[in-house]
Structure 1
C-alpha cells in the first residue's frame, strides 16, 4: 500500500501517523510519502516530515516531497506522481489558532482526489498553541 500524507505541521503529521499506526504491514510492503507544500515557514515543513520519519521508522518506507505553490494543486499532483493508493490529510492547517472547520485546501483536495482520502482529526489548539 502506498499512502500519501499531506501535511503542513507536526500536529497534522502526528495525527496521520496515529492513523497509519495499525495499518502498516512493514517497510517491505508499505510506502508513506510525506508531501509538504512550502510558502511560509520552511522549517515547519521540515519538522513535519521529520516527525513521519521518526514515528514510522522500521514500519514503512518513508519518502518525502517538498513543493511550492498552491497546496491543493501540489497535493493532487503528488497523488498522481507517486501513484498513491490512499491520501491522508488533516481537516485544516495544523498551526496554532487555525479554525476548527474543514479548511479550503482540504475541501478542494477532497473534491478532486482520484484516490480514497482520509481526513484525520486534529486536536483543537487554543490561539496560544496550548492544548
Structure 2
C-alpha cells in the first residue's frame, strides 16, 4: 500500500497530479490532498481540490488534510506533513516558466522541496 501526498494550490494542480497518479495507484493506496498555496486558502478551495481528486481517482482512498503553516514556508509544511503521515512520495505541480522553453526552472517552493525532502518528490507540469 502506497501513501502519496499531493501539495496543491489549485484545482489545476490537483488535476495534473491526478493525471500522473491515476495509472500508478491501486485499491488500498491513499492520496492525501494538502492545499497549501503561497497565499491564504479558503475552505472551498481545499474542498474543490479534494473533489477533483475524488472524481479523477476512483481506486485509491482520497483524504483532505489540513496543515497550518503559521508563517512557515510551503515546502516546510509539505515536508512536515510527509513526515507526520509517513508518505511514500510527494507530488507537486510546477506552472512557472514558458512551457515552450525547455529547461525553465520551477519556482522557489518546488526547488526548496526538491533540495530538502527526505523522500521522492515528483513535479508535474500544470
Give me the TM-score of the superposition, normalised by structure 1: 0.79
Aligned equivalents of 1:102, 1:66: Cα separation in 2: 25
Matched, 1:31 2:35: no
Aligned to 2:112: 108
Describe the SS at the equivalent of 2:91: strand
Q: Is the 8 A contact 2:7 2:78 kept in 1?
A: yes
Aligned equivalents of 2:41, 2:82: Cα separation in 1: 23
Aligned equivalents of 2:13, 2:121: Cα separation in 1: 15
Aligned length: 113
Instruction: After the TM superposition, list the runs of 4 or more consecutive aligned residues in structure 1 that deviate by more than 4 angstroms.
Output: none
Give me the TM-score of the superposition, normalised by structure 2: 0.81
Q: Is the 8 A contact 2:46 2:64 kept in 1?
A: no
Structure 1 unaligned residues grouped into runs of 5+: 93-98, 123-131
Structure-to-structure mapping, 1:36-47, within 5 angstroms? 36-37=35-36, 39-42=39-42, 43-47=44-48
For the aligned residue pairs, the C-alpha RMSD in angstroms reads: 1.5
Aligned equivalents of 1:34, 1:19: Cα separation in 2: 14
Aligned to 2:22: 21
